Amino acid sequence: MVHKIITNALKEDIGRGDITSRAIIPKSQKAKANIIAKEAAVIAGLSVARDVFRSLYRSLRFSPKVKEGKRVKKGKVIAEISGNARAILAGERVALNFLQHLSGIATLTNKFVLRIRRTHARILDTRKTTPGLRALEKYAVRVGGGVNHRMGLYDAVLIKDNHVKLAGGIEKAILKARDKVRGMRYEVEAKNINEVKEAIMSKADRILLDNMNIRTLRQAVRLCKKAGVKTEASGGVNLQNVRAIAKTGVSFISVGALTHSAPALDISLKII
């Protein structure tokens, strides 16, 4: 899957060829370059960047100077590249795009993880990902210390408000899911305490507590803990309120911003 993503990205950028480098740089010219983090970051995507360059010129040497998931300071050289100059320049933008995007996700995820230290909650991602890049973006979440929620619609049962409306209620939705799908966790969304109680009575395995204020979250968590049901808080989560949410005792906190709003990190490539 990653190979296909890289191939499509290179085709999109290079097209019929890098006409600028072909005009200026001899075909056999060699070069060395550094990839530099221009701001503090948690680095993710080094293997993807390596594969970008090697897809263009197999003998290019890509040498990481930090470990994947390592927090680095501004100005740190995170990788060195040597080999064919045209290939280095042809792969530069695509490799940096992946590194900047994935490191941005890992860095933001790590900020959330650090904010909830010494609580029992864990940070989850969502399906709010860039089409075609989900596998890479969810990988970056793991690098940053987060946990992947379901990968798609196929690997977990998550009954949301629209399912409930179409099924005629939480209990009916859960009963239908249990009848048709076996051997999976059954999670259901609840927006208020009455829905939480209904989900508990319907024997949900996990309850998604959606857009609840802190007071309601605490009440919902107490009810769920008493029933032995895991909880997940979702909706409006940010770096300012995530610790307060975690301190309610929820098991998980899902954050769509990890993948849909993480700013790209400033990373550059410089010929030595």
Query: What is the set of active-site residues?
Result: 93, 128, 160, 189, 210
Residue appearing with tokens 């249990």: 178
Please classify residue 247 by burial: count the beta carbons closer than 10 Å to its beta carbon, then call 0-12 exposed, 13-18 middle and 19+ buried: middle
Query: Helix, strand, or coil here: 260?
Result: helix
The answer to whether 100 touches 267, Cβ cutoff 8 Å, is: yes
Please classify residue 161 by burial: count the beta carbons closer than 10 Å to its beta carbon, then call 0-12 exposed, 13-18 middle and 19+ buried: middle
Query: Which residues sit opposite 54 in a β-bridge?
Result: none
Query: Helix 2-14 crosses helix 46-56 at what angle (to 10 degrees)?
Result: 60
